Amino acid sequence: MTKYRLINNITGWVIFAVAAFTYLMTIEPTASLWDCGEYIASSYKLEVGHPPGNPVFMVMARFFTLFAGGNTSHVAATVNAMSALASAFTILFLFWTITHLARRIIIRNENDLTVSRITAVMAAGAVGALAFTFSDSFWFSAVEGEVYASSSLFTAMVFWAILMWEDVADEKYANRWIILIAFLMGLSIGVHLLNLLTLPAIVLVYYFRKYEFKWKGFLISLGISLLLLALLMYGIMPGVVKVSSKLDLFFVNRLGLSPNSGMIFHFILLILFFVLAIMSTLSSADKVKNSIFAAGALFLTGVWVIFNSALLNLLVLAAIAVFIWYIADRNRVVLNTILTAVMVIMIGYSSNAIIVIRSAANTPLNENQPENPFSLLYFLNREQYGENPLLNVFRGQYFNAPVIDYKEGKPKYVFEDGKYIISAHDLKRVYDPRFITIFPRMWSDQSEHEPVYREWGKIKGTPVSITNQSGEKEIIRKPKFSENMRFMFSYQFGYMYFRYFMWNFAGKQNDTQGTGGAVNGNWITGIKFLDEPRVGTSDLPAGMKSDTSRNVYYLLPFLLGIIGLFYQLNRDYKNWWIVLLLFLMTGVAIVFYLNQYPNQPRERDYAYTGSFYFFAVWIGLGVLTLFEALSKLTGEKIAAPVAGALCFFAVPVIMGSENWDDHDRSGRYLGRDVAFNYLNSCAPDAILFTNGDNDTFPLWYAQEVEGMRTDIRVCNLMLLNTDWYINQMKRKTYESDPLPVSLPAKKYYDGINNQVFIVEKVKEPVNISTIIDYVNSDNKATKVQVSATEILDVIPSRTIRIPVDSAKVIASGTVKSEDAGKIVPYIDIKLKGSSILKSQLIILDILAHNNWERPIYFVTGYHNDALGLEEYFQLEGLAFRLVPIKSENKSWIDYGRIDSDIMYDNIVNKFVWSGANDPKVNLDYHHIRTLIVVKSRLIYARLAKALSAEGKNEKAVEVLDRCLELLPADKFPPDPYYSDLIDGYFTAGASAKAVELTRKLSDYYFERLNYYLKQNPYVVSSAEYEIQSAIQYAAKAANFCESNGNKEIADEINEKLEAYYADYVGKRQPADE
């Protein structure tokens, strides 16, 4: 076996080298979109990112940033490299896992240890590991600074470790592997919780190794494993912080000590009891003493604090005490092992102390401000994201359930004036019990989700009569349970898991986010008869054909994996059960647990890479099937290399060659560049209001890591609904002064003024400062009493007036002196609806007290937090500045005036698009979509038209040419604003360029229409948006031609479009019937 181990180790490290080379060559050199910018920023300066903080990942990433050598522009690359290396180590452990399982099948004793069989085992490991190396979802996570690569490493290590224990289970110190596994699990909680899902499989490995297989024992072991998982996730993890919070409440409010004193005391007690318990069970047979110390240690972990009911928690505690008493009498070794395992889990979990320590330092990024046990519990429970049926999967409401009441939930504690006070209570909805069901899968009441539920669930429902809020009778069709289950199987399991699974092992249509239908985000195979009915023919237009994200594997990885699945079931059913359980726990079990609502903000395949990891085990074992089949024909000496070579070229080689181009992020800087361009759109000392992840996290990265424009205060409007974020905005950060928020914390605590109702006591406009003073007042005359115990702040007028000091706005640079005549004396905000949100209240406070001193920018308008101010926006790049000049542009597309001098300087001299037009740099769907969202082409077109209006046609053409050079159509397909460039050229007098662009644009859309309209009715109906958009945008370009004296071209385009439309109407009708 020594020779085998040497070969196994060397081959494993070769596979590691291949994976490491692959990932390091394709990492993104800077921060990616979505959460990556925030993760890198929080790691670089050990700040507090979004819940649950991921402290172990943060510390690991911080270590890697040291290799940037002080060059902040290289920091992101070092964190991305950490993900690449973590992923390569994951592949190494996968290889060793597969070879372990393969050896158990075909090398059972020394006589089987032949060169041929060793070769077959190594081939199985290599094929399975490399297949996963080049798989779509894992490769995606491997090259960016996110937690999923590191999480996969912990999963791989834990499963490999239990297999190592299996080899030595009868030896004296075998349990050290169990302790290592427990420690790794504790650490993994500080990366991601996905690793914990290996626990049931670990228990099964233990059962199969120690006991003879019987169905009863198997099912009991499975039940015990799920119980242990529940005790860890719903007992220890929140429970230890709950115990700390109770002690802290006592120490602070009763003993007058400082915050966290109770938590520190709890921490000391934990250490003391675990040390005493472990030492006692090692050295003493005293049952009473061992039981007391052990029970005390477990009590302090909070493992018993699972339910909201004190009685149920006491019953759990009693059960634990009885178990300890029983095991202390029967087997001290087992008790000692349990205590040691729980202790090392707690050591790993204690990494969350970093979160508390760094939060107390008031770092610039300090989400949820978890500086005490109460806010830490809120943080770790991810309460910021609201309540939805996660493990409430067992009982809950349907999406259209009427709310019949509200009930008071748990208290919310804040630290004020030297003690903890209850600022408010959670308010929980009470739903009509007739709309409550078990396993609620269609639960979200957001209006945009209802049509998706109805489509995927094929809802007809059952009529239920209710009394609505107006007191009138109304009939609501409650979904049937069968429809609820249909949505689960068709959408949640089918579309949101099986589709991702097939992406990785069959092929992928494109990386455009799918919402159903035949056009975007589907799985494909490359096999005509399987693909055409579902997604259309493969004779694609040039743009689709050259799409790097279109990959086909001809079902080969899938088929080899299925063969391996049945092979292991037939030859090693015990380990088959283990791999199957891991495959299910990291796949469909997560789907069931997450209970996702439809139309997620992004594709969620990265959450299921653990499932794909274990399917890769079967891909590897599939090689052995071919080896054994060929052995019967050629003998083992020939069969081993032939089987390995055939599977190697059929699976990893095809997957790697197909996936390299769209997974290669080298040279991609667009996410960072958009952040730079946002910041460089702003004047010095500006306040920049942002909305979502991709216009906030990259900006945090740019400021926190690369030190870009730290004079600007980036303020996320969604987070501005939280008390902790408002507190942060009131502190100075780098060169940015505090935001001028006058309201005290008691006016915006969590649960206070989440909504401020409008009670129109005054019809006339009211000065904005008066409005804020009115809300801030403690005078009961300014409130509305809604119950015996509840008094609410209100807004007394629908029209809020912002006065304008013309001299001041000119002096501050808000308005140029030559525009002084355009300054309005005031701006009136007209509130709509019955209330405003907390974020809107804070914006009003800022506007009231900023007094036009600091520039205020919004990244976009026409959302609630813009307060209807769009007609006073001035576009200066990617952001709109609030100015006291009324704009004539009121369309949701081209709202706001333009200062051409400022905008030209920003766009031409300050904006960066590093490598965006380089054909070697791959840009995925989300990067292209980001440029559409920020209306990049429209910005250039609007500037060009503004320059033309000023008689600067030459400059206008320069701007348009620059847009086409930086954002070419072959890299950035025509979008809704591409035709505005045509209008810009016409306006600037460059008719020849406008006509040329019109021809290119119409040809592009004609090619797409030709393709879609020759498909089957299902595909045509699925492509409704694409077909209608193509007709609309081509017609828009034709209209520009016609209005600028090019009627012949316009008529030619419109004639073709009419024919296409007629064809479309005829094709889609059968699908609608």
Whether 678 and 757 map to the same domain: the answer is yes
**Does residue 1015 sit within a domain?**
no
- Of the candidates 444, 463, 479, which is a domain's last residue? 479
* Distance from C-alpha of 534 to C-alpha of 84, rounded to nearest angstrom: 35
Structure tokens at 916: 């965006």
Chain segment 561-612, per-residue pLDDT in tens? 999 999 999 999 999 999 999 999 999 999 999 899 999 888 999 999 999 9
Cα separation of the two ends of the chain = 68
What mean pLDDT do residues 1032-1047 have? 92
Identify which of 852, 744, 832 has the alpha carbon closest to the alpha carbon of residue 793.
744
- Give the span between the Cα atoms of 931 and 630, in whole angstroms: 54
Radius of gyration of the chain (CA): 32
Q: Quick one: how far is CA 259 from the chain centroid?
A: 33
Please report which confidence band the pLDDT of residue 790 belongs to, taking 50, 70 and 90 as the band edges: confident
What letter does residue 68 receive in the DSSP assignment?
G
| Angle of CA points 821, 822, 828, to nearest 5° | 130
pLDDT of residue 667: 93
Give the residue numbers spanning the domain of 304: 234-385
| 687 touches 857 (CB < 8 A) | yes
* pLDDT given for residue 951 in this prediction: 95
CB atoms within 10 A of CB 519: 23
User: What tens digit of pLDDT does each residue of 675-693 get?
Assistant: 999 999 999 999 999 998 8
Q: What is the spatial distance between Cα 909 and Cα 916, in angstroms, rounded to a whole number?
A: 16
Statement to judge: residues 595 and 556 lie in one domain: yes
pLDDT of residue 389 exceeding 80, the answer is no
**Domain co-membership, 847 together with 879:** yes
**b/e code 397-429 from CB counts within 10 Å (16+ = b):** bbbbbbeeeeeeeeebbbbeeeebeebbeeeee
Residue 898 Cα distances to 682, 811, 871, 895, angstroms: 14, 20, 12, 10
Count of alpha carbons within 13 Å of 890, Cβ hemisphere only?
3
pTM check: above 0.85: yes
Residue 712 confidence class, pLDDT cut points 50, 70, 90: very high
The answer to whether 146 touches 39, Cβ cutoff 8 Å, is yes
Portion of the chain with pLDDT greater than 90, in percent: 83
Tokens of 196: 């914990």
Q: Minimal CA–CA distance to 359: which of 53, 748, 707, 722?
A: 53
Closest CA to 1022 of 509, 517, 512: 517
> Token pair for residue 20?
């490491």
Q: Which of 61, 63, 54 is nearest to 40 (CA)?
A: 61
Look at residue 428 and tell me whether its pLDDT is greater than 90. no
Given 479, 498, 516, which residue is the final one in a domain?
479
- pLDDT over 70 (residue 392): no
β-strand partners of 214: none
Distance of alpha carbon 1061 from its chain centroid, rounded?
39
Alpha helices by DSSP H, listed for 331-396, are 332-349, 353-360, 373-380
The predicted-structure confidence for 174-215, as pLDDT tens digits, reads as follows: 999 999 999 999 999 999 998 999 999 999 999 999 999 899
Q: Has residue 648 been placed in a domain?
A: no
Q: Would you say residue 109 lies in a domain?
A: no
User: Is the same domain home to 518 and 458?
Assistant: no
If we measure between CA atoms, which residue out of 250, 242, 251 comes closest to residue 308?
242
Residue 939 DSSP code: H
In a domain, 111, yes or no: no
SS3 823: strand
Q: What would the DSSP string read from start to end of 742-808?
A: -S-GGGTSTTSSSEEEE--S-SS-EEHHHHHHHHH---GGGEEE-SSS-EEEEE--SEEEEE--HHH
Q: Which two tokens stand for residue 1065?
A: 């109407």
> pLDDT value at position 1073?
40
Same domain, 593 and 732: no
733: in domain: yes
**331 and 402 both lie in a single domain:** no
Cα(259)–Cα(248) distance, rounded to whole angstroms?
7
Return the pLDDT at 393: 66
Residues 395 and 555: their CA atoms lie apart, in Å, by 39
457 inside domain: yes
397, 408: one domain:
yes
Q: What is the pLDDT of residues 1047-1072, one digit of tens each?
A: 999 999 999 999 999 999 887 755 44
Q: Structural domain tally of the chain?
A: 4
Helix (H) or strand (E) holding 508: strand 507-508
Residue that terminates a domain, selected from 639, 656, 686: 639
Residues in a beta bridge with 830: 799
Range with the lowest mean pLDDT among 61-70, 151-160, 786-795?
Answer: 786-795
496 and 467 belong to one structural domain? no
Looking at residue 285, its pLDDT comes to 84
Q: How many residues belong to the chain?
A: 1073
CA atoms within 13 A on the CB side of 77: 17
- What H or E segment, with its residue span, contains residue 700? helix 697-704
How far apart, in whole angstroms, are the C-alpha atoms of residue 1031 and residue 978? 14
Residue 800 backbone class (left: φ over 0; alpha: ψ -120 to 50; beta: rest): beta
Asked if 145 and 33 touch (Cβ cutoff 8 Å), the reply is no
Confidence of residue 788 (pLDDT cuts 50, 70, 90): low
pLDDT, residue 515, reads 85
For residue range 892-935, what is the model confidence (pLDDT) as tens digits? 778 899 999 999 999 999 999 988 899 999 999 999 999 988 89
* pLDDT at 385 exceeding the cut of 80: no
Kindly state whether residues 379 and 396 are assigned to the same domain: no
Q: Is the dihedral of CA 621, 623, 629, 631 positive or negative?
A: negative
Mean pLDDT across the stretch 981-1010? 94
Mean pLDDT for 412-435 is: 91
179 closest CA partner among 339, 388, 312:
339
Q: Are residues 622 and 713 in the same domain?
A: no
Nearest alpha carbon to residue 1003 among 1027, 1039, 1034, 1032: 1034
Judge if 374 and 391 occupy the same domain.
Answer: no
Q: Tell me, yes or no, whether 1003 lies in a domain.
A: no
Distances (CA, A) of 757 to 834, 838, 843: 6, 11, 16
What HEC string does 446-499 produce?
CCCCHHHHHHHHCCCCEEEEEECCCCCEEEEEECCHHHHHHHHHHHHHHHHHHH
Question: Are 564 and 428 members of one domain?
Answer: no
- Closest-CA residue to 666 (of 132, 145, 30, 37): 30
Q: Is residue 809 part of a domain?
A: yes
Q: How many CB atoms lie within 10 A of CB 50?
A: 20
- How many Cα atoms within 13 Å fall on the side-chain side of residue 725? 18
Q: Over the chain, what is the mean pLDDT?
A: 93
